[in-house]
Structures are given as structure tokens and as C-alpha cells.
Structure 1
């Protein structure tokens, strides 16, 4: 068994965990438990992205999906009831069918992924190799990942930073809705 085969088993394990958490979220009525499980879902998705070799996507998923989104949902939960109202059985089955169809599609596509680290994959033969070859002469930055994110994909990275910053400001503003920290305007 090669190293690539082991990571493929981890991919399947992560997918099964995500499927189980998704099914659990559908069945729960307690909104606090749902919010916490969506945070766990995001953390497992981030771990899966690391397994797939997408560390930048994993960091963004952990920060936005597990961090900011969980805080935002917890703050929104303060403005609503703690328990969800009972729904019809049709909505549960419809959600289950949609989730099952998406899961089957992802499991079907997972078999088409190349073996992790294989030299003949498009990422290792196309643009990836071009970046590795051109970075020392064009930019003179020793870390290729930094060169790609900061120079070649600078506008895209700047857009991602703006999105994370806007989400952070939104959460900070939402958490201040209770009036905590405001000055009393009547006393002035």
C-alpha cells in the first residue's frame, strides 16, 4: 500500500464523518447543538482540505467556517428560540434526499481524483511546475507558495483577505447589538 492509497482512505473517512454529521444535523431540534455540529463539520472539512493538499483553503475554512460562522450563528441564536419548531416529515425526507444525492455524487467523483503526490497529475505537470521553475528568476522569493499567493495570485488573495475582514467586522458589529459598551447618551 503506497502513501497515496492511505490518504485516499482518509478522504473516504472524512466523507463518512461529514455524512454522519450532516444526517445528525438534520435530525436535531436543539439549535445550540446544530450550531456546534456545523462548527465541527467545518473543522472536519478543513482537515479534509489539508489531506487533499489545499492548506490555504483549509485555513480559510477553519477561520470562516468554524470560527466566524459559529460565532455569528451563536450570536443570532441569542435573538431566537433555543428549540426549532417541529417540521413536517416531508422537509426531513427532502433534505435527506438532497444530501444523499450530493454525497453519492461526491463519492462517485472521489474515485477520479489522482493519487496524492503522483508526478503525472495536472497540478504537478502544468502550472505547478511552471511556478516552481519561474519563481526564482521572476520574483526571487524562496517559498513558492508565498510567491504564488502574494504575487501571481495577489488580487485573488487580496479579495480573500477582504472577505475574511468583512466577516470579522460583521461579527463584531453583531455582537455589539446588545448595547454593551455603548455610552449612555442620556447622561451627556
Structure 2
């Protein structure tokens, strides 16, 4: 049953990705990317990675979709021109995909007790999390301590992306309402009229 669900989700992911490539209406593309994130979250749930699925659903289908819809409010709804297919890009994509498919059989089976992660890493986390960190929740101990720098990097990336979007949208709105860079830099400086400027020059 799980295999059937995985195959259905994988098929839907492939169809959604193909639709994203072919559709030229940007609003439809945003909706499809949100659906792609939800399907990815469902696939992660079947792999027992509920925490990663929650992050994918919140960031991919939630925050990213809202940001892209906000961006569409300031841009056109349709793509300006259809991009040309690059033979070099296609070769790189198919070569990478073929390499991943070729290497997949060498991976340990899902849930195998003799996989390297379960043999070497997981026991140290289970045995040492309470003694080393004094945190009863093993997942929290891994994310906050063992993988603390990795989590900090992920938060920094999300924060940087959000600030970049806010800055871009903010600059566009300033231009739309007629704010210049000088008035934005000195918002409290009183504006002088033309008569006062003429008196100062005389």
C-alpha cells in the first residue's frame, strides 16, 4: 500500500513539474509550485520524516506562495517571452538524473536496520542526548545542538531571502508613490519651497 502511495505521489510530482515548465501564466505557475510543495510534503510523510514535511509545507507551500503572489501584484501576470531550450542545460539535467538513478540501487533499503545511519549515528544520539545536552526530546537535541550550526545556517538563509524580498518590494512601492532616494534617506528633513530656495541663492 505504501509503495502505491509513493508511486502516485511521484507521478503527480512529475506531472506538476512538467506543467510548471509548460505553463506561461505566472499565477498558475505559483499555484502549481504550491501544489508541488504539498505533494513533496506528503511524500516526506510516507518516509516518516514528519518534521521535514512540516517545514516543506510551511515554507514551500505557505510562505513562498504568499511571497510570490505578493510579487505578482507588482509585475505582469504572463511571462514576457518563452525561453529557448539550451542543449547544454538539457545534457546536464539528463546526465545528473541518469547518475542519480544509477546510484540509487547502491543505497540501503528504506528502514534497513544495518544502514550506516542507524548503526553508527543514531545510537550515539539516543545514548548521549540526555547525558550530553540534558534534553529529553532527541529530535530537539539533534536540531538545536548536534546540528546546531546547520540549523543556524538554514535560519540565516530564510531570513536573508525574506529580507531581500522585503527590500525589493519596498523599493518598488517607494518608486510607485513618488518617494525619491533622498527623501527616503532623510524622511524627517523639512522640504524647502522654490521661493525659499530662490532667496537662499540671492
Instruction: Give the drift of 1:19.
Output: 0.6
Instruction: Give the drift of 1:20.
Output: 0.4
Give the equivalent residue in structure 2 for 1:119: 113
Change (3 A) 1:74 1:40: same
2-side partners of 1:45 and 1:22: how far apart?
Answer: 11
Instruction: String of CA shifts for 1:36-80, please: whole Å, max 9, x gaps.
Output: 101111221222223323344333333332233223322332333
Give the equivalent residue in structure 1 for 2:73: 78
Instruction: String of CA shifts for 1:104-128, please: whole Å, max 9, x gaps.
Output: 6655555555443332222211111
2-side partners of 1:80 and 1:95: how far apart?
Answer: 27
Change (3 A) 1:152 1:159: same
TM-score (norm 1): 0.73
Which runs of 5 or more structure 1 residues have no equivalent in the other structure?
1-5
Count residues with an aligned counterpart. Answer: 182
Report if the CA contact (8 A) 1:49-1:55 is conserved: yes
Instruction: Give the drift of 1:84.
Output: 2.2
2-side partners of 1:80 and 1:52: how far apart?
Answer: 38
Which runs of 5 or more structure 2 residues have no equivalent in the other structure?
191-202
**More relative contact order in 1 or in 2 (CA 8 Å, sep 6+)?**
1
2-side partners of 1:106 and 1:40: how far apart?
Answer: 24
1-side partners of 2:30 and 2:52: how far apart?
Answer: 21
Q: Does 1:59 align with 2:54?
A: yes
Change (3 A) 1:82 1:75: same
2-side partners of 1:41 and 1:105: how far apart?
Answer: 23
Q: CA RMSD in A?
A: 3.6
Instruction: String of CA shifts for 1:137-174, please: whole Å, max 9, x gaps.
Output: 22222111111111111121122122223333334444
Give the equivalent residue in structure 1 for 2:153: 159
